[in-house]
């Protein structure tokens, strides 16, 4: 296809973390981030207030899967479990982006880096300055965790 620009025609559904979790798992995580620690009943009540009609066992299964994926931790309190997020929303977003970047580098190597640099050329200078600030913040957070 000479002189034609390739355009991706298929997109993964959702935006941001929804691409990693799906709409319902992300809705559960949003509740956990906002109210933790939470029980399955707490999450079920809030989800159903959002005009969803979910069963307790459905929410319990979703939360169990989030534990298996490493997004939540659970602790037994009496007869029930309470759940907390492993990472803050911001940390989870950074981990997700890191996963995508690592996959691109592994699959495409230098081509991925070159394409990323090419895309940066089209970014507004103010946005580019903000990206530099974010990079510095991430590096500082990483240094503090070490």
Give the Cα separation of 146 and 143 in Å (integer).
Answer: 5
Per residue in 1-51, pLDDT (tens digit) is: 344 444 444 445 678 888 889 899 999 999 999 999 999 999 999 999 998
Helix, strand, coil share (%) of the chain residues, nearest 5: 65, 10, 30
Q: At what angle do helices 56-68 and 40-49 cross, to 10 degrees?
A: 120
- Side-chain half-sphere CA neighbours of 18 within 13 A: 9
Q: If you average pLDDT over residues 87-108, what whole number do you get?
A: 90
Beta pairing partners, 72: 85
Per residue in 45-69, pLDDT (tens digit) is: 999 999 889 999 999 999 999 999 9
Ordered domains of the chain (ranges, CATH): 18-85 (1.10.10.10), 89-145 (no CATH)
pTM of this structure: 0.71
């Amino acid at each position: 296809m000479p002189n034609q620009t390739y355009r991706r025609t298929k997109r993964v559904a959702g935006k941001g973390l929804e691409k990693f979790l799906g709409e319902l798992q992300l809705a559960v995580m949003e509740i956990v981030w906002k109210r933790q620690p939470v029980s399955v009943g707490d999450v079920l009540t809030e989800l159903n207030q959002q005009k969803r009609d979910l069963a307790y066992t459905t929410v319990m299964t979703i939360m169990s899967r989030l534990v298996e994926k490493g997004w939540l931790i659970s602790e037994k309190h009496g007869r029930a479990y309470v759940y907390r997020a492993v990472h803050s929303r911001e940390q989870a977003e950074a981990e997700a982006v890191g996963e995508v970047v690592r996959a691109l580098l592994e699959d495409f190597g230098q081509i991925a880096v070159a394409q990323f640099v090419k895309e940066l050329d089209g970014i507004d200078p103010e946005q580019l300055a903000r990206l530099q600030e974010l990079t510095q913040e991430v590096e500082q957070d990483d240094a503090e965790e070490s």
